[in-house]
A and B are shown apart, each in its own frame.
Chain A
Amino acid sequence: MPTYSEKVMDHFANPRNVGEIEDADGVGSEGNPVCGDMMEFYIKVDDGLLTDVKYKTFGCGAAIACSSMVSEMAKGKTLEEAKGITNRDVAAELEGLPKNKLHCSNLGADALHKAIEDYESKAREG
């Protein structure tokens, strides 16, 4: 098993904001079970603010910790601010990830961005 930072282990053992939002304004997923990691993000948006961010994650310790960290970083932010969160920022907030996990497990920001895109395309149509 890889050696994870204390921060990663904390978010893995006590994931924040985990779950689903039934009437989500946007949903986005990234990854797939074949490569070992998959995340689905749900967002609530009010007046351009992310009032709630939840997720479900299939994957290793790093994948779960990344999802948790992204949800914490994004909650309460404006859509524009949330779009600016990168996978690199997430890894940095987690005090680093093992090298071989940087790409495959660190999909949280991508999944969040997809949820925002989903919200925005619905808003345009709606």
Chain B
Amino acid sequence: MRDVYFDYGATTPPRPEVVEAMLPYLKEQFGNPLSLHRYGEAPREAVEEAREKVAQLIGARSNEIYFTASGSEANNMAVKGIGLMNQKRGKHLVVSAVEHLSVINAAQTMEKLGFEVTKVPVDKHGVVDPADVEKALRDDTTLVSIMHANSEIGSIQPVGEIAQVVKERSKAYFHTDAVATAGNLPVDVKELGVNLLSLAGNQFYGPKGAGALYIKRGTRIMPLIDGGVQEAGRRAGTENVPAIAGLGVAAELATADMEERRAQLVPLRDRLIGRITSEIDRIYLTGHPTQRLPGHVSVVVEYIEGEAMLLLLSMQGVAASSGSTCTSRALKASHVLTALDIEPGLANGSLLLTLGRDSSVEDVDYFMEVFPPIVDRLRQMSPLYKEA
């Protein structure tokens, strides 16, 4: 049996260089970066070096990078921090219907605090129309948050265009959740024209527990965590030095082989999409067919359910994921598939295959060997299938 990891979207394996770079700060260089004595020196330098590398990855200045514990924290910081700090100017926020839950639920919390939130719809490919964002803008809008790419359906948003509209037509800040793209696709904050941007190390072969929020100089934002002077007073708490050092190296490696990464993954992705949609009946690609993340394949399979597929795939050595109701702990339908107007029964046949560095043509072909019999087997026992 072959071991196939097709769940890079859940998390990526840290590169050996990343792990190496983290180790000293878990051992002899355990000091607190704030300490004035010699134990603080190397950790302090490590954090600032990492800041430099993350800044380089996204074309920012290093003093515009604020480390967080995750992409979710960065998203919360952007939505809540901007909303709360700028409420004298207005209490209206704009997000898209397919944002990550760390944006959607943060916006919901703001609603409870008396803010108004407009959710911009998406088209059948899950893409936001900049004209819809323009329509949603008001005089009292202080933040627009539209993700760079969606991790569930892979679609890439026209963030540059949207940022332009927001800049021209409002006084709002523009934030993009780039957790799925940063480190995997070229991301440049100046080119995109964003005021804030979230990223997470574990999405590009860095460690868990390290994310960052880019905050453009001059942006008014309230800290989520008050306390000491870490992160220029915007995010208190002793820095997670090992994770930050690892994130820095992951960013450096990504900057160096960005093009290679894309060039490796796009043909694999397209091979898998081509085979899965042509060799299996009644299976539909979700998200945009071409404007999508390089290693991202998402489908819905008619007549069968996602979790059952995942369990049988796992027995064949394939690790994948699904947005079906049954696979979510909360047993709720995915808000992303719902926003695409995919019929709920069909959405339960969701299957998500995310490829990465170690994926190969052999993996794709092995998958296509084991998957069709699984579909067939589950359909044979499905009461819905006979009706077709």
Known: A18-B381, A56-B382. A1 touches B348 (CB 8 A): no
A69, chain B: closest CB distance, angstroms? 15
> In the complex, which residues of chain B have a beta carbon less than 8 angstroms from the beta carbon of A38?
383-384
Instruction: Report yes or no: A59 in contact with B308, Cβ–Cβ below 8 A.
Output: yes
> In the complex, which residues of chain B have a beta carbon less than 8 angstroms from the beta carbon of A36?
305, 324-326, 331, 348
Instruction: Report yes or no: A56 in contact with B386, Cβ–Cβ below 8 A.
Output: yes
Q: State the CA gap A9–B381 with chains docked (Å).
A: 16
Known: A12-B311, A64-B308, A104-B331. A58 touches B383 (CB 8 A): yes
> Residue B97 at the A interface, CB < 8 A?
no
Instruction: Report yes or no: B303 in contact with A58, Cβ–Cβ below 8 A.
Output: yes
Q: State the CA gap A62–B325 with chains docked (Å).
A: 13
Instruction: Report yes or no: B344 in contact with A34, Cβ–Cβ below 8 A.
Output: yes
> Residue A126 at the B interface, CB < 8 A?
no
> In the complex, which residues of chain B have a beta carbon less than 8 angstroms from the beta carbon of A9?
311
A87, chain B: closest CB distance, angstroms? 17
Known: A20-B386, A36-B348. A1 touches B303 (CB 8 A): no
A50, chain B: closest CB distance, angstroms? 19
Size category, B interface: 20 to 34
Q: State the CA gap A12–B314 with chains docked (Å).
A: 13
A36, chain B: closest CB distance, angstroms? 4
Q: CB-CB contacts of A32-67 with B at 8 A, as 1s and 0s?
A: 111111111000000000000000111111111000
Q: CB-CB contacts of B304-336 with A at 8 A, as 1s and 0s?
A: 111110111011000000001111011100000
> Residue B345 at the A interface, CB < 8 A?
yes
Interface size on A, residues (CB 8 A): 31
> Residue A106 at the B interface, CB < 8 A?
no
> In the complex, which residues of chain B have a beta carbon less than 8 angstroms from the beta carbon of A60?
305-308, 324, 326-327
Query: B362-388: which have CB < 8 Å to A?
Result: 380-384, 386
Q: Which A-chain residue is minimally distant from B330 (CB atoms)? A: A100
Best-surrounded residue of A9, A13, A32, A34 (most CB of chain B within 10 A): A34
Q: State the CA gap A100–B326 with chains docked (Å).
A: 9
Query: A77-126: which have CB < 8 Å to B?
Result: 100-101, 104-105
> In the complex, which residues of chain B have a beta carbon less than 8 angstroms from the beta carbon of A105?
326
Instruction: Report yes or no: B327 in contact with A1, Cβ–Cβ below 8 A.
Output: yes
> In the complex, which residues of chain A have a beta carbon less than 8 angstroms from the beta carbon of B307?
1, 60-61
Instruction: Report yes or no: B308 in contact with A29, Cβ–Cβ below 8 A.
Output: no
A23, chain B: closest CB distance, angstroms? 15
A78, chain B: closest CB distance, angstroms? 26
> In the complex, which residues of chain A have a beta carbon less than 8 angstroms from the beta carbon of B380?
18
Instruction: Report yes or no: A57 in contact with B345, Cβ–Cβ below 8 A.
Output: no
Q: Which B-chain residue is minimally distant from A13 (CB atoms)? A: B315
CB contact between B382 and one of A1, A58, A61, A101 (< 8 Å): that residue: A58
Instruction: Report yes or no: B311 in contact with A57, Cβ–Cβ below 8 A.
Output: no
> Residue A76 at the B interface, CB < 8 A?
no
Q: Which B-chain residue is minimally distant from A12 (CB atoms)? A: B311
Best-surrounded residue of A18, A20, A36, A37 (most CB of chain B within 10 A): A36
Q: State the CA gap A68–B76 with chains docked (Å).
A: 45
Known: A20-B386, A100-B329. A37 touches B310 (CB 8 A): no
A–B Cβ pairs within 8 angstroms, 8 of them: A1-B314, A33-B348, A35-B325, A57-B382, A58-B383, A100-B329, A104-B326, A104-B331
Q: Which 10 A-B pairs have the closest CB atoms?
A: A33-B345, A60-B326, A60-B307, A56-B383, A40-B383, A36-B325, A34-B344, A36-B326, A58-B382, A61-B311
Q: Given contacts A12-B311, A29-B383, A56-B381, could you give 12 more A-B pairs where the C-beta distance is less than 8 Å? A: A15-B381, A33-B344, A35-B325, A37-B326, A56-B386, A58-B303, A60-B308, A61-B308, A64-B308, A100-B331, A101-B326, A105-B326
